[in-house]
Structure 1
Amino acid sequence: MAIHSDRDHAFPTESSTAPYFWGIDIGGTSIKCGLVDDQGHTVAFEQVPTRESEGPEAAVRGLANMVRETEQRCGVTGKVPGIGMGAPGPMDLPRGRLVAPPQLPSWWDFPIVEKIAEATGRQVEFLNDANAAAFGEYWLGSGSEHSSMLLLTLGTGVGGGIIIEDELVNGVNSFGSECGHILVDASPDAQICQWGGGRGQLEAYASATGVVAITRKRLREQTDSSLARFVNRDGETDADELTSKRVYEAAVAGDSLANTIVDETARWLGIAITTLVHTVDPGSVVLGGAMNFGGEECPIGKRFMEQIREEFRQRTFPNVYEGTTISFASLGSDAGYLGAAGYARKAHS
């Protein structure tokens, strides 16, 4: 496994290996930019505000200036052949355009690849942000010992990335690997996904938004939970107060309802993972994102993972279970820019 440096302690350029690649991870509030060497070490990192209201053209100018100044400061001018860029929301990868990113309304149908390439003079590789995170974990993180990998990112929504024999599954409609929208519940009263609007999709059960929606529904019936303090006189929960983190904290404190919600989330993920593994058989499944219920560092997170594995074991074939690892991601929020840089590196090789 390659070891990437903590971005707050940049790897010294004199010890790094050329060529270098930029990894850019565009978000609704900030843009993470890492200059990464050929071995995956971060030699420089910048995080700048997106400033959505100023529009994408201003962001492109700012990125181009940052790229030029950083390369000069690091002494790598002329040694950076490509840029990898991950972005959220629906996109048209062949045309290099963001189509309709929910958090970036002024960027809709913006030819971002063309504009960044013109402003920097570099080849630009464009991919979905979850796919970028997947490639980061595949190159440098929890999936680096495998030739194929599936990533699920558990956050506000559920993102996904599928890599088969070193190739990302992007799809004909630039919608490949959108694992959060696979169906896990076909019942007529299945949960509705807040973001996609589809009924019974994984995102409605295993995202932070889905967990809150399910908890809110249960609290109308079960009031002996410590989470009931977030219910007002009208029987509604305060959306700003009830969060998946609150559910996790209540579970740690021994709250019965909170622990039930954690276990049910694991069950839905086990069902989804079974379907996805039976489709592509990657050998490695990695769970990333902020909603990991404490991860391996916490008994609740460990139980969460054990429940996922057990659900998968019950639903798959013995040889498939034995040949598939399911683990937590290891790169945290760095996965996006590292994966974008790695994808640019792959295109250059």
Structure 2
Amino acid sequence: MAAALKFVGLDVGGTTMKAAVVDDYGLAGPSVSLPTEAHRGADVGLETMCETIRRAVAASRLTMTDVAGIGVATPGLMDIKLGIILDPPNLKPWRNVEIPQHIRKVFHKPVAFQNDANAAALGEHWVGAGKGAPSLVLFTLGTGVGGGIIVDGRVLEGEHSHGGELGHLRIDLPDRGRLCGCGRRGCLEAYASATAVVDRAREDQAGYRGPTRLREMLAADDVSGVSAKDVFDVAAQGDLLAQKVVEDTAYYLALGACAVMATVDPEMIVFGGGMTAAGDSFLAKIREYALRFGLAYPASKVQIRFAQLGSDAGFIGAAACARQLVKQG
């Protein structure tokens, strides 16, 4: 019996890049991480990517001859068809960098290139929360809100490589809504990202007259040490204002879910990122609002779940992209 094909998945983040060898069945070997150090420039970054790949292969006690293909997932704006990362805000000062071309030249292997949230969605679809589902939409909840759409096992990239930018679904008026990092107003990201949870909590406590632990946590001008998890923890301890912030967050995420139900009609909607630690009660609130505001039939059928792969979803999904590339010739 022939040995299962093996692929390297590399997930490049603003702080670290993480890679592992993943076999044909989605089983990952030991992962390795190296600091991205984007400030040192794209040339250094490209070599760090290659070194991370080498170390991942070595960690699995393999050589590059054992690898059938490589998948690379990066954040920010990109042209997937041309294989160029354009102007990623988390990888300054990289600009117009040909990533897959460089890695292909170094390793002489097929190289797949994908947006990091798209890759995470494909990973969850392959061996995570969406295993066996024909279609899936993933919301990634972190500093911002990302997303990926999988239909019939394929990433919906869009004509201009910007399919699945779910953080920029409009859930409020564009002339009066909260300001998003993209420069526009009313985007889901401005309401439901981990950063937005802290911002909304600070604003709410400023005008709140009842007792709340949020006041002590968030009254200072610098709240960089406070996380969305802190707000959710205070809510779990019975703080009424924190509970309102959590409830509002579920409401906003449900509005995003309703939008994708109406456009994609997926079998499953998955939420990933740090806020999944809020637990089943938070997920139940999202489901409740989605049933209330979504189109009745798809809202009653769609499965709403938390992601399962955690921070491994990016490199597993990148490997899945390489797997698709190799198997389709």
TM-score (norm 2): 0.93
Alignment partner of 1:96 out of 77, 83, 86: 83
Query: Aligned with 1:238: secondary structure?
Result: coil
1:45 Cα deviation after fit: 1.9
1:134 has 2:121 as partner: yes
2:110–2:326 CA contact under 8 A, matched in 1:
no
Q: How far apart are the structure 1 equivalents of 2:288 and 2:116?
A: 29
Q: Deviations over 1:149-188 (max 9, x none)?
A: 0000111100000011111111122111000000011274
Alignment partner of 1:259 out of 243, 249, 269: 243
Alignment partner of 1:326 out of 304, 314, 318: 304
1:155 has 2:155 as partner: no
Q: Deviations over 1:34-70 (max 9, x none)?
A: 1111111112321111122332222323433454465
2:20–2:57 CA contact under 8 A, matched in 1:
no
Q: How far apart are the structure 2 equivalents of 1:180 and 1:340?
A: 21
Corresponding letter in the other structure for 1:337:
F
C-alpha change, 1:318 and 1:19, in structure 2 (3 Å) is same
Equivalence for 1:55: 41
Equivalence for 1:247: 231
1:251 Cα deviation after fit: 0.5
Moved more, 51-60 or 325-334: 51-60
1:17–1:38 CA contact under 8 A, matched in 2:
no
Structure 2: gaps spanning 5 or more residues? none
Q: How far apart are the structure 1 equivalents of 2:54 and 2:224?
A: 41
Query: Aligned with 1:106: secondary structure?
Result: coil
Q: Among all aligned residue pairs of Structure 1 and Structure 2, give the percentage whose two residues are the same amino acid.
A: 37
Equivalence for 1:24: 10
Q: How far apart are the structure 2 equivalents of 1:230 and 1:70?
A: 41
C-alpha change, 1:239 and 1:28, in structure 2 (3 Å) is same
**Aligned counterparts, 1:58-69, within 5 A:** 58-68=44-54
1:325 Cα deviation after fit: 0.2
1:334 Cα deviation after fit: 0.4
1:90–1:100 CA contact under 8 A, matched in 2:
yes
Alignment partner of 2:92 out of 93, 105, 108: 105
1:214 has 2:214 as partner: no
Q: Deviations over 1:182-210 (max 9, x none)?
A: 001127432111x2122111001110111
C-alpha change, 1:242 and 1:65, in structure 2 (3 Å) is closer
Equivalence for 1:120: 107
Moved more, 30-39 or 316-325: 316-325
1:106 Cα deviation after fit: 2.5
1:243 Cα deviation after fit: 2.4
Structure 1: gaps spanning 5 or more residues? 1-14, 296-300
Q: How far apart are the structure 2 equivalents of 1:106 and 1:231?
A: 32
Equivalence for 1:75: 62
Q: How far apart are the structure 2 equivalents of 1:35 and 1:153?
A: 23
Equivalence for 1:307: 285
Equivalence for 2:257: 273
Equivalence for 1:7: none
Equivalence for 1:33: 19
TM-score (norm 1): 0.88
Coordinate RMSD, CA, aligned: 2.0
Q: How far apart are the structure 1 equivalents of 2:77 and 2:34?
A: 23
Moved more, 270-279 or 41-50: 41-50
Corresponding letter in the other structure for 2:42:
P
C-alpha change, 1:218 and 1:93, in structure 2 (3 Å) is same
Moved more, 339-348 or 223-232: 223-232
Q: How far apart are the structure 1 equivalents of 2:103 and 2:131?
A: 29
Equivalence for 2:167: 180
